[in-house]
Structure 1
Amino acid sequence: MDECDDFELPNEAFAPNRKSVNIEVGAFVQRGETIYRVTQVLDFESVIGVEVETGRSVPLLIGDLRCLQDDADPKLAVNQDLAEIADDDWRIAQQRFAAISPLVGKTLWGRDEVERQAKACNIDPSTLYRWLKRYNAYGSVTALIPKKRGWLEGKSRIPPHAEQVIEETIRDYYLTVQRPTAKKTIQEVQRRCAERGIQAPNHMTIRSRITKLSEKERLRGRGFKEKAKNKFLPAAGRFPNADYPLAVVQIDHTPADIILVDDVFRKPIGRPWITLAMDINTRIVTGYYLSFDPPSETSVAMCVAHSMLPKDDWLLLHTVDAQWPVWGKPRTIHVDNGADFRSNNFQQSCLAYGINLEFRPVKQPQYGGHIERMLGTLLREIHGLPGTTFSSIKERDGYDAEKHAAMTKSEFETWLVTLISKFYHQRLHSAIGMTPLKKWEIGIFGNAEVQGIGVPPKPTDRLTVLLDFLPAFRRTVQTFGVTIDGVTYYAEALRPWINSTDSETGKKLDLVFRRDPRDISTIWFFDPTLKQYFKIPFSDQALPAMSIWEYEQAREKLKREGLKSINEFALLRAITELRSQVEDAKEKTKRARRQAQRRKEHEKNISPAVPLPPKQPSPTQSSVQAFAGLVDGDIDTFGDIA
């Protein structure tokens, strides 16, 4: 699926595409049906390319370029959903990525350099070349999954209770000053599982969990706290390894210091949450997510997708005439220890993209100083807006924030995008001695003193990036469809999988589904045979679109009424009643207005994957389409249409 440059919504079915367009000298790219070789990168918007067949040099817009149309190897795991991957295959892919990691990001590799790295890893140089080529083509660690072992179709992930035993054993047995070996730790996991009547996971699965521990965790947990501190503690005012753009990106949440109003009555509805991503080296904002929903795995997914994708359409959405030439995959994402960052899905998604996920050490504020200062700067700018809550009681003294509240979420978000792209990025930053935008440009293109890293590869498919970070579920398909959180979904794409079983174990087959919690009226089903996603709606089409938060409210209402089981009819009644109550009360209460506005924002379905609404056909086009396919005489059935 090509990038959504035509602003149309994604099809009901599509194949994931994790390829990226390489914007570097010597790379082959495609515009329309013509293939070019890039000979010069002019800026963030354009390159010079030589047409391969004619040798003619032409200027090309980066936004028009895409990967060469070739058939991906069907054996590559890069065509699968990330949740389908087997634990042992993850481990092998990680080992291969670790081997090529020193060479990743370089345009050219010298033979001597590759041979030295291959010798250090005890790998044949041709094998290392092959891994590098495969990884660079897709920019995904999943491309390094072994082909013969492949993706284990239908293989279920280990049960949550077994996963819990592994985590507990590593935490309170392996990561102790007694420093037991990995072998003894595996035996301890097996012993605890037997004690609880749980089937123990495969010994390689347990070993892979131990292997995934960072060196910092290992040192600190096994009694080398001072060594870990000396090795990993950053020098004052400097973050370790943030030596070039996208080397380290920090992400954090904060409630904005402003009361916003609803779109209808323009009355106060409360403060929104901001999730912000910032590149440490250049101090540039790589992405954000603004919502009335509390921080969650969804907030993180939206922010990371926005950070990795180009921003042209986003600026167009908010009608901001500015430059925000920032996209690309970070080498490291650095976050606090919140549950939304520690979810298995987010950690696995980062692993698949070759992103090193680091957590802020507890009680070490210097690790989060950069993003917190950026958020502090942002909040201070907000203090000049009507309806600001300021950041202290002293500042707030005598100012009624709700009385002065005037901005809607859309208006505030336009202001926020303007602030980031037109002011913050182009204002002198004292810590780097120049503007963040200039620092970013130098880091990308270089100058007399700095060698630039080059324009980051541009993701080919927006929706694949977003889906890879959204929450995933594994479910069996029954005759009535599939059930998630008590709600049933069905479409014809599920029919071949009804009551399907694993050919190896004979057990019901767990399949992968993903959803956007802001609108649970549809989910994405990944067909492991067709290697495609299909959109699956509510089986009861009478149910309206709703967010997971609105659905949970309806369930709580029905439980209070004494219903032990919840069916679609009861759910529809509860949703209707709740919305009716909100409509009746929203002019009177802030809580009702906030809830109504949240629903309105969810129904917009705006995301980094699809930032702009679909094009609406003109009346002429609609009329032509309505009568397409009719033959002589069919028009008579419509009667007099004059």
Structure 2
Amino acid sequence: MTFNELKLNAELIYFGRKYVVLSISPPNVVIKRVEGDGESIEINFVELVANPSFKAGKTMLKEIEKEKSKFVSLLDSLSETNRKKVSERYQMIRVLLVLERVKSHDIRAVYEFMMYYKDYLSDGQTLNELTQEELIRKVSHRYSTVDEDGERTKGTSIRTIKRLLSAYRQAESEDEKRGEEGLISRAGGGFASRTDNKELVICHPKKPDEVLQVLAVRIDEKYIPIIKEVIEKEFLNLKRMTKQAFYESVALRCTRQGIDEPKRITMLKLLDRIDSQIKVRMRDGSKAAKKFDDLIRGFSNEEAQYPLHIVEIDHTELDIDVIDGKSGLVIGRPWITLGIDVYSRMVWCMYVSFEPPSANVVRKAIQQGVFFKKVKEKYELFNEWEVFGIPSVILLDNGSEFRSVAVRRMINETLKSNVRYRPRKTPEYGAAIERLFGTLNSKLIHRLDGTRKSSVLDLGEYNPDEEAVFTLEDIRELLTMYIVDHYHMEPHRGLPLNANRPIIRFVDGLKKVGYPDFISPEDEETYAIELLPVAMKPYTRDGIRIDNRLYKLDKLSHLIGSRTTKYKVKYDIDDISRIYIQLPNSTEYVEIPAVLPSAEELEGMNAYTYKLIREISIEEAADKASKIPGTKMVRYAKVKLQERVQEKIKTGRKARQLAKRANMEITVGQPQPVALPKHAPSLEQLADAVKLAAKRRKQGGMEHE
């Protein structure tokens, strides 16, 4: 994946010709042809970078054609131990990379250094005075052990740091933004490549799909499942089994199976090869966290210095009931996830659905924030949603969905941003996002039919169930209209008087530091795959099984093996018709379609819907309870599921909400059309549209009676 940048004097390709950036005056940039008549063009930034012919920076010199169905990740091919080592090495040299950007006059890098690394500066020393050689010495000292006399006894040498920095640069020069691949350890490569090696896959004792480590061993195949079972079930737990007890347990199982005992010394050496961190974590429990868990830098009470310096993200339930578009029945209150740029108060991301907060919801919201929004034409707005790109810091609260490993890696490693968490029980530190929720409710949601206001007292005798007229998609559209054409353009009390509107503050900030790194539209599909969660799955004669669905590809039959051999698989719970598998000894992911049920039958179906379908199938066909329903069974189950939901739909709001989560149509009586404005030039027109929709709904109800 490539992060693009466009700065002053940067070269680019536009319609096959080479240009250089003369000036950046958001929302426009001025570019000049390098050859020929040297003509200058002033063009909208989004229009320029979204053009298929546009190539920025180094990427234009080494464009690589890739099949759209493939995704490549060398880091995903590593064991967790080696992956963690890469992260540690990257964190060690990251300050040096920031200093390089400082020396190239990158203003964002100056802010980043002073926020996170200013302790590397000596008393009275300025950033301009700090040299790379001096910084390398300080990094070496920090990552070393020092005795009482101040002498370094062990740790990371200056030579090692220079070697890592050189390797990172080399990898990055070959593939932009892939510098971390140069930090992969090559130790033990010779042993691992022996043809007589076999794999001992050690999985988490309580999570069999989570591979902890893969050891290359040269022992008889018959011993591997025995050793694996004893390690996972007896050695890696809080009972802290001794090495001797481990050997005796393996020997006893071999005796029971009528095979010779393995050599004791071989078994003891094998235990020594298990990563020490894995052993301590599994055998010491919570005590190990203090020793090994990554230190997550907490809240930093720094003011945002430029656009997308700090983005706050949070969730809330909207104060409005929405209806099903076909039946007109009330479904309930949707959830909204928002991200706000603290510097300008521009809204960076928005995701609205019935899904409660989860890591997957956070992923979708962040993806929407990073990508170009492209809503002006879709909703016929007056303005485009101008905010996109990679933030420097993403500030989150302490909910479990934000603390998940998947979210932390997405921000720290995929985006190469910095994740920060608010202090616990201190909502005032998320003031910007909380005020945004309040503004959306008071200025829009509380003025719409179906609102639940902010409290029962405010609601009075108003009945949201009777007045609700808007569908979930209507709410998405109205929120987008309000954010883009109103909120971004109106005065904001939290901004300076000389730039008191979000759009003005945002443009002024871009003039100071330029546009942030961004993902080109042609790379969005690849990036979306990179954000998907990963699971470890075996490839058997049936293919790959996930929640009683089978995925298989004929050309991958060579992967068929025992269930102890597992492969990394990426999947999307919102579209279970396909998965992606990383080939062994390769960085390449290959798309695998579902075969039972078929990919066509599962196209666009989410995991929640399929779970309900299986429950119906098992109930209706007890004799097939242990099998996956075939295509005909899925269709039959869909009908039964629809019938069951319809029985409860009139009186059960919960049933309606679950139906919409499962992307099911709710049909009771004749569909009632809802009229919506094509655009929202004023709040008064929004209100008029609401009243018209309510009037039509009531008229339709009387006709139905």
Fold match (TM-score > 0.5): yes
2-structure distance, mates of 1:257, 1:520: 32
Letter in 1 for 2:82: D
1:14-163 maps to which residues of 2 (within 5 A)?
Answer: 18-51=1-34, 57-59=40-42, 61-64=48-51, 65-66=54-55, 67-70=59-62, 79-80=72-73, 83-86=76-79, 87-101=81-95, 102-103=98-99, 106=102, 108=104, 113-122=131-140, 123=158, 128=165, 131=168, 138-139=176-177, 142-143=180-181, 145-146=183-184, 148=186, 159-161=203-205
Change in 2 beyond 3 A, CA 1:272/1:215: closer
**Which is greater in Rg?**
2
Contact 1:29–1:35 (8 Å) recurs in 2: yes
After superposition, give the CA deviation of every residue in 1:49-92 in whole Å (9 maximum; x if it has no partner). Answer: 43368755445623222331516799xxx940764343333333
Matches of residues 515-594 of structure 1 in structure 2 within 5 Å? 515-527=571-583, 529=586, 531-541=588-598, 543-545=601-603, 546-557=605-616, 565-569=626-630, 573-582=636-645, 590-594=653-657
Larger displacement relative to structure 2 (31-40 or 461-470) = 31-40
Aligned partner letter, 1:359: Y
Question: By how many angstroms is 1:416 displaced?
Answer: 0.5
Counterpart amino acid of 2:460?
D
Q: Corresponding residue for 1:443?
A: 509
- Give the match for residue 367 of structure 1: 429
Aligned positions of 1:150-549 closer than 5 A: 159-161=203-205, 192=238, 194-195=240-241, 201-203=274-276, 210=291, 213-214=294-295, 239-240=301-302, 242-311=304-373, 313-352=374-413, 353-381=415-443, 382-433=445-496, 434-446=500-512, 452=513, 454-460=514-520, 461-492=523-554, 494-499=556-561, 508-527=564-583, 529=586, 531-541=588-598, 543-545=601-603, 546-549=605-608
CA contact (8 A) 1:51 1:57 kept: no
Q: Secondary structure at the match of 1:303?
A: helix
Aligned residues: 527
Cα distance in structure 2, aligned partners of 1:305 and 1:191: 38
| Cα 1:85–1:52 shift into 2, 3 Å | farther
Q: Kindly tell me: are residues 245 and 482 of structure 1, through their superposed partners in 2, closer, same or farther at Cα, counting changes over 3 Å?
A: same
For the residue of structure 1 that corresponds to 2:517, the secondary structure is: strand
SS at match of 2:435: helix
- C-alpha spacing 1:364/1:592, structure 2 compared with 1 (3 Å): closer
Find the aligned partners of 1:149 and 1:384 in 2 and give their Cα distance: 64
Distance 1:131 1:211, change over 3 A: farther
The structure-2 alpha-carbon separation of the partners of 1:246 and 1:155, relative to structure 1 and needing over 3 Å to count, comes to farther
Task: Tell me, yes or no, if the aligned pair for 2:86 and 2:180 is still in contact at 8 Å.
Answer: no
SS at match of 1:517: coil
State the 1:106 CA deviation: 4.6
Query: In structure 2, what residue type is equivalent to 1:468?
Result: E
1:307 Cα deviation after fit: 1.0
1:335–1:112 CA distance, 2 compared to 1 (3 A): closer
Report the Cα offset of residue 374 of structure 1: 1.6
* Worse-matched range after superposition: 285-294 or 149-158: 149-158
Which residue of structure 1 aligns with residue 682 of structure 2? none
Q: Distance in 2 between matches of 1:20 and 1:256?
A: 34
Q: Percent identity?
A: 23
- Secondary structure at the aligned position of 2:390 is classed as coil
Q: How far apart in 2 are the matches of 1:191 and 1:519?
A: 37
Residue 82 of structure 1 contacts residue 468 of structure 1 at CA under 8 Å; is this kept in 2?
no
Q: Counterpart amino acid of 1:343?
A: S
Give, in whole Å, the separation in 2 of the partners of 1:526 and 1:46: 41
Q: What are the Cα deviations for residues 444-475 of structure 1, in whole angstroms up to 9, with x where unaligned?
A: 212xxxxx2x2112213112332232322211
Q: Conserved in 2, the CA contact under 8 Å of 1:551 and 1:575?
A: no
Q: Which amino acid aligns with 1:472?
A: V
- CA distances 1:209-250 after superposition (whole Å, capped 9, x unpaired): 74652266xxxxxxxxxxxxxxx676xxxx436333323222
Alignment match, 2:217? none
Q: Which has the higher contact order (CA 8 A, sep 6+)?
A: 1
In the alignment, structure 1 segments of 5+ residues that lack a partner are: 1-17, 167-188, 217-231, 447-451, 502-506, 603-642
Q: Shift of the alpha carbon at 1:135?
A: 5.7
Shift in Å, 1:566: 4.1
SS in 1 for 2:366: helix
Residue 305 (structure 1) shift: 0.6
Name the aligned partner's letter for residue 437 of structure 1: I
Give yes or no for contact 1:297–1:470 (8 Å, CA) kept in 2.
no
Q: Which has the higher helix share?
A: 2
Kept in 2: contact 1:261–1:409 (CA 8 A): yes
CA RMSD of aligned residues (A): 4.0
Structure 2 residue identity aligned to 1:521: S
Distance in 1 of aligned mates of 2:428 and 2:202? 37
Per the TM alignment, residue 45 of structure 1 is displaced from its structure 2 partner at its CA by 4.6
Offset, 1:204? 5.6
Distance change (3 Å), C-alpha of 1:531 and 1:406 = same
Q: Distance in 2 between matches of 1:535 and 1:163?
A: 24
In structure 2, distance between residues paired with 1:391 and 1:538 = 48
Q: How many angstroms does 1:576 deviate by?
A: 3.4
SS at match of 2:486: helix
Find the aligned partners of 1:158 and 1:45 in 2 and give their Cα distance: 55
Distance 1:139 1:439 in 2: 30
Equivalent pair of 1:81/1:468 in contact (CA under 8 Å): no
1:39–1:50 contact (8 Å) kept in structure 2: no
Q: Structure 1 CA distance, aligned partners of 2:169 and 2:516?
A: 17
Q: Is the 8 A contact 2:617 2:629 kept in 1?
A: no
